[in-house]
């Protein structure tokens, strides 16, 4: 099957499946091959010390996410992060522990998302989809013309 979704449709579908975005995410849009995410760090309660300081200095963070490659079930994403227009890749690394904790709270393996150096994020798509779409086998994942494109079988 071929699924083409705008970011708004993907967010709505995830919410219907019980996987709503965390309140820290204020917008998700896309253009061409890039998903653009905006987050307000002031909406997070449990911030590590360095992120607390960053949230005071530049509370709104923007990230551009591109699918670098997909080899089922793993998606490798390139993430460029900026806070108040300044490059903020270090912020991405500080999110490892909060992301792992959030995954654990949802009953997912904490290592389903790994943040590597230089703004690379590796996600186990199969593990992340099990609670919302069990049995879906994703064979292709891309962002094209502002849409999330998923090829899969059930």
Domain range list for the chain: 2-153
What is this structure's pTM?
0.84
* pLDDT above 90 (res 92): no
Dihedral angle sign, alpha carbons of residues 131, 11, 65, 91: negative
For 142, counting Cβ atoms within 10 Å of its Cβ (0-12 exposed, 13-18 middle, 19+ buried), the class is middle
* pLDDT above 90 (res 109): no
pLDDT at position 91: 67
What mean pLDDT do residues 38-46 have?
82
* pLDDT above 90 (res 57): no
Contact between residue 78 and residue 65 where contact means Cβ atoms under 8 Å apart: yes
Calpha distance 91→129 (Å, rounded):
26
Contact between residue 63 and residue 133 where contact means Cβ atoms under 8 Å apart: no
């Amino acid at each position: 099957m071929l699924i083409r979704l705008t970011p708004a449709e993907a967010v709505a579908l995830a919410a219907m499946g019980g996987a709503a975005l965390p309140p820290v995410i204020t917008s998700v849009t896309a253009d061409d091959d890039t998903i653009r995410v905006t987050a307000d760090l002031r909406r997070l309660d449990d911030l590590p010390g360095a992120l607390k300081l960053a949230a005071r200095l530049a509370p709104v963070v923007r990230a551009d996410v591109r699918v670098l490659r997909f080899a089922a079930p793993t998606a490798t994403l390139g993430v460029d992060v900026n806070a108040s227009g300044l490059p903020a890749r270090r912020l991405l690394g500080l999110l490892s522990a909060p992301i792992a904790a959030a995954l654990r709270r949802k009953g997912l393996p904490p290592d389903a998302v790994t943040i590597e150096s230089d703004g690379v994020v590796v996600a186990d798509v199969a593990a992340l989809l099990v609670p919302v779409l069990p049995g879906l086998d994703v064979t292709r994942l891309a962002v094209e013309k502002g849409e999330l494109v998923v090829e899969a079988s059930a």
